[in-house]
Amino acid sequence: MLDIGPIHRSEYELDEDRSVPVVIAEAPGRIHYLGEHGEPKAGLFLSSAIDRWIRIAVSMRKDNSLRFFAADLGERKRTTLINLKFKREDRWANYIKVAIYVFAELGYPVKGLNFTIAGNIPQQVGLASSAAIEVAAAVAIRGFFKAGINDKELLARLTAAQLVFFGRNTDAVDYQIILSAKRDSFFVVDESSMEIRKIKFPLSRYKLLIMDSRVPRFGVEEELKQRRSDIKKGLELLSQKKQGAGFRSFATTDLVESMGDLPEEIRRRCMHIVRELRRVYDAEEAMKNRDYSGLSKIIFHSHESLRDLYEVSCPEIDWLVKRAQEIEGVLGSRMTGQGFGGCTYTIVRDNALDDYRKRLEDYERIFGFHPLTYEVRPATGARLVSAKCRTELE
């Protein structure tokens, strides 16, 4: 892991004042194994943090400028508190601004601060890199000012700030996972109540691989908007039979009877959501009971549902999952993220790793994209790495 303390000090020439405190915090990415593309604000997820991180350092300035430096990119951005707003050209810095806004609203003196950011979470593939930036920045600022704000309040304020900055309601589940994660643990996260249940990682003899397909993703937002519209219409039609009911009300009923009158496309979308809810509950039980065969079937069935019912997969992703499924020693493989490209995850036994990698060598020849593979483990949540003065960091 890159130590950005020295880079931060060098970038902002803190030698002029050796008493300037430099606080460093880090936050992990996250992966959803099951549950994505569920009912808005009422989803159920099987997830974990991953041991890929965003690390942010913060120190005070003598002027009122807010300065941002991306060490990995060599990019610099700047603004002031009075101009603290979303700017498209500021890209990654906008997520740090969200955290600044939270503490400015609480009355902390954030008029002049330096920020340095570095990390190794793959970008724009559904691993919550933007949420990790926000949380890492918020935890760093909280430590810098020794602010008395707990994780629950921080989560609520980050969610509200997202609406101010980006004009949309964000997925608070990402914040919850990133803040609450424990090493070698999965979580079942209930979005409707924000309650979480921890499951100890039962796969000590397996590796977790993320495969970035490198498929260009065009028009994804319009496709996903249509899916969300289908879900909304389906829920409205279903609620005529059971007033005020959500999809969970149908998870244990006769699905064919409940959904038989829906238009075919809407019925398929709704069927995916209802069955995926059941799969999350079943996977939780399978993991607790170390039922590897049962867990394997759940994961593969989930991908088939995303492919055939929700229709957010693509030929490249399906090929990766199918090839993985053919390998003895692979427990499960499935797309993760928004879909139409992006990533798969694969859970594979240690002694099958070489076979897995060899089997996927044909991917680039067939599709023309060079895939990237990351080995990860369920990781701990956001934390302060260092909260010492400049002289103590030497």
* Cα–Cα dist 97/162, whole Å: 10
Q: Residue type at 207?
A: K
Nearest Cα neighbor of 108 from 151, 76, 140, 134 is: 140
On the 0-12 / 13-18 / 19+ scale of CB atoms within 10 A, 318 is middle
- Residue 174 annotated to the active site: yes
If DSSP codes are grouped into helix, strand and coil, which group holds residue 210? strand
* Cα–Cα dist 307/37, whole Å: 12
Dihedral angle sign, alpha carbons of residues 96, 100, 101, 103: positive
Non-local (6+) Cβ contacts of 68 within 8 A are 76, 77, 78, 90, 92, 93, 96, 115, 116, 117
Q: Kindly name the residue from 174, 190, 212, 230 that is annotated as catalytic.
A: 174
- Tokens at residue 371, please? 């895939």
* Cα–Cα dist 239/53, whole Å: 42
Residue with tokens 């302060």: 384
Count Cβ atoms below 10 Å from residue 143 Cβ, excluding itself.
19
Dihedral angle sign, alpha carbons of residues 178, 249, 282, 338: negative
- Residues 136/382, Cβ–Cβ less than 8 Å: yes
* Cα–Cα dist 330/27, whole Å: 29
| 78 sits in which H/E element | strand 75-80
- Residues 26/49, Cβ–Cβ less than 8 Å: no
State the angle between helix axes of 264-288 and 292-308 in degrees (0 to 180), rounded to the nearest 10: 160
- Residues 243/390, Cβ–Cβ less than 8 Å: no
Non-local (6+) Cβ contacts of 223 within 8 A are 312, 340
Question: Which residues are identified as catalytic?
Answer: 174
